[in-house]
Structure 1
Amino acid sequence: MTATVQPALDGSVPEQRKTKTRQQAENYETWLAIVWPKFLEAAATGRTFTTYEIADAHQLPDPPSPQAHWGRLMTLLKDEGYIRTAGWACSDRPTAHHSGVRTWRGTAAARRAAA
């Protein structure tokens, strides 16, 4: 089924809306190799961020199991000493309806690793 576009009153046809499509990685190891450096860069800045902010800014692919793997990534980064919890914020993710999400901040170890 194809969608029809309603012309404007002046007869012009509006441009198609462009939506972001997110790719999904085929396996966890490949996905981790793609996203790990981007999160290390974010941690090295020392600023507070959410997981979605970094994923969206770099158009990172979703992991094979998004419900589990995003949280696991942040736990690994925290366990390695690159990030720490910074608090809570409302999510910018369109499907989250502004629900609360954890915020993160890079540590001194992350800044040293980037240098």
Structure 2
Amino acid sequence: MPAQQPQLDGTLPEPSLDYRSWVDTIRPAFIRAARTGQWFTSYEIAKTNDLPEPANPKADWGNFVQSLVRHGVIEHCGWDETSRPGGEHSGVKVWRGTRAAQTGRTA
């Protein structure tokens, strides 16, 4: 087992999930959000649902969201400033559930 660097508070970080397990953990929250028809950013869903960070945050969040687009669950509907701490108000995509997702025809 590789050595782990303690966090600043002295605790060890939670072991990161492999990509597939991480997707299985977070997907239900995004499906619920898509079914509402409300506009959202991926960070808002992650924060509201206390979702875990992936092993590779810079790539995995984008890959996951794009898989939802490819499967017809969400669609891009605009831009906003990120509310993610340290994001320096950079632009982020805003999403909403497709009509199929809103009527429960996607999973």
Q: Which runs of 4+ in 1 moved over 2 A?
A: 22-26, 112-115
Q: Secondary structure at the match of 2:26?
A: helix
The percentage of counterpart residues that share the same residue type is 40
2:59 to 68, 71, 76: 68
In 2, Cα distance between the equivalents of 1:110 and 1:23?
32
Corresponding letter in the other structure for 2:71: E
In 2, Cα distance between the equivalents of 1:23 and 1:57?
19
Q: C-alpha deviations, 1:75-104, integer Å up to 9, x for none? A: 000000010001100000011011100110
Indicate the RMSD between aligned Cα atoms, in angstroms: 1.9
105-114 vs 50-59, greater mean Cα deviation: 105-114
Contact 1:24 1:63 in 2 (8 A): no
* Equivalent residue number for residue 17 of structure 2: 26
Q: Secondary structure at the match of 1:96?
A: coil
In 1, Cα distance between the equivalents of 2:78 and 2:15?
28
Query: What's the CA shift for 1:112?
Result: 2.4
Q: Secondary structure at the match of 1:49?
A: coil
Q: Which runs of 5+ in 2 are unaligned?
A: 1-12
In 1, Cα distance between the equivalents of 2:97 and 2:15?
26
Specify the structure having the higher radius of gyration (Cα): 1
